[in-house]
């Protein structure tokens, strides 16, 4: 199954486990539709569930046909596996990030860190700027406060230069 995960190309619109869950529900709805369409008589077909752009893009990028049972089943299993085992990074920002911003971040993370990484966002208004990142077991403070702490010598030097002379 891990092999299947490695083969799956996740689009950058899928950011968090919530997105994965939504995709799984959509797949399940399609499964239900297919099953129902088989057992019902002609003229009593249920309405085709609407699929999201994310699911369509995912299927398209992975060359899957969602109307094919095997493709749908494999995609569902892969999504379930991803939901359970994909690495998750938690990032907290000073304000609510926009989808465009998150897409840029997840694009970089999947290109540089891990191709299947998921992102869980949070809010920490006290950090003013930057972010706080938490991976499996590590905590990375990438906030402006930490940046100031790193450059404390520079700040102290600036204050010393501005300090009036005693004479």
Partner 1 sequence: MQLQSYLLIIGMIGVGFGVAIALVLASEKKKAKTKQSSGATAHHTQAEAIDTNINKIFNDEFREELRNRGRLHFEKIIGENAMFLQQDLQLTTSQLNDYMKQEITKTLKEEFTKYEQSINDAKQLAIDSIAKTQKAIEEQREILGKQLDEQVASEKERVLSRFEKNMADIVNHYVLAAIGNQIDLNDQLEFILGELEANKKDIIEDIKNGA
* Beta carbon of residue 29, minimum distance to partner 1 (angstroms, whole number): 31
Listed ranges 41-49, 59-67, 73-81, 85-93: which one lies at the site for partner 1 (CB under 8 A): 85-93
Rounded Cα distance between 24 and 54, Å, is 11
Q: Do residues 134 and 117 make contact, with C-beta atoms less than 8 angstroms apart?
A: no
Footprint on residues 46-75 left by partner 1 (CB under 8 A): none
CB of 117 to partner 1, least distance (A): 7
- CA-nearest of 160, 158, 129, 121 to 146 is 129
Q: How far is the CB of 35 from partner 1 (least distance, A)?
A: 35
By CB under 8 A, how many residues form the interface with partner 1? 42
* 82 lines the binding site for partner 1 (CB under 8 A): no
Interaction between residue 148 and partner 1 (CB under 8 A): yes
Task: Give the shortest CB-152-to-partner 1 separation in angstroms.
Answer: 6
User: Using an 8 Å Cβ cutoff, are 54 and 99 in contact?
Assistant: no
The answer to whether 113 contacts partner 1 (rule: CB under 8 A) is yes
Helix axes 17-39, 53-61, angle to 10 degrees: 90
Length of the chain in terms of residues written:
167
Contact residue for partner 1 among 6, 67, 123, 155 (CB under 8 A)? 155
Q: Is 35 in the site for partner 1 (CB under 8 A)?
A: no
7 scored as a contact of partner 1 (CB under 8 A) = no
Which chain residues interact with partner 1 by CB under 8 A?
Answer: 85, 87, 89, 93-95, 97-98, 100-101, 104-105, 108-109, 112-114, 117, 125-131, 133, 135-138, 140, 142-149, 152, 155-156
């Amino acid at each position: 199954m891990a092999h299947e995960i490695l083969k799956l190309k996740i689009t950058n619109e899928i950011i968090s486990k919530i997105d994965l869950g939504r995709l799984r529900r959509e797949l399940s709805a399609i499964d239900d539709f297919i099953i129902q369409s088989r057992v019902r008589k002609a003229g009593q077909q249920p309405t085709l569930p609407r699929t999201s752009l994310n699911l369509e893009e995912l299927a398209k990028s992975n060359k899957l046909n969602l109307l094919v049972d095997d493709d749908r089943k494999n995609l569902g299993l892969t999504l379930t596996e991803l939901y359970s085992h994909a690495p998750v990074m938690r990032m907290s920002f000073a304000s609510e990030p926009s989808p465009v911003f998150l897409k840029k971040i997840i694009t970089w993370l999947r290109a540089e860190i891990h191709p299947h990484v998921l992102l869980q966002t949070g809010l920490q208004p006290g950090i003013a700027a930057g972010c706080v990142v938490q991976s499996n077991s590590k905590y990375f403070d990438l906030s402006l406060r930490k940046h100031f702490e790193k450059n404390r010598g520079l700040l102290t030097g600036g204050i010393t230069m501005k300090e009036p002379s005693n004479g």
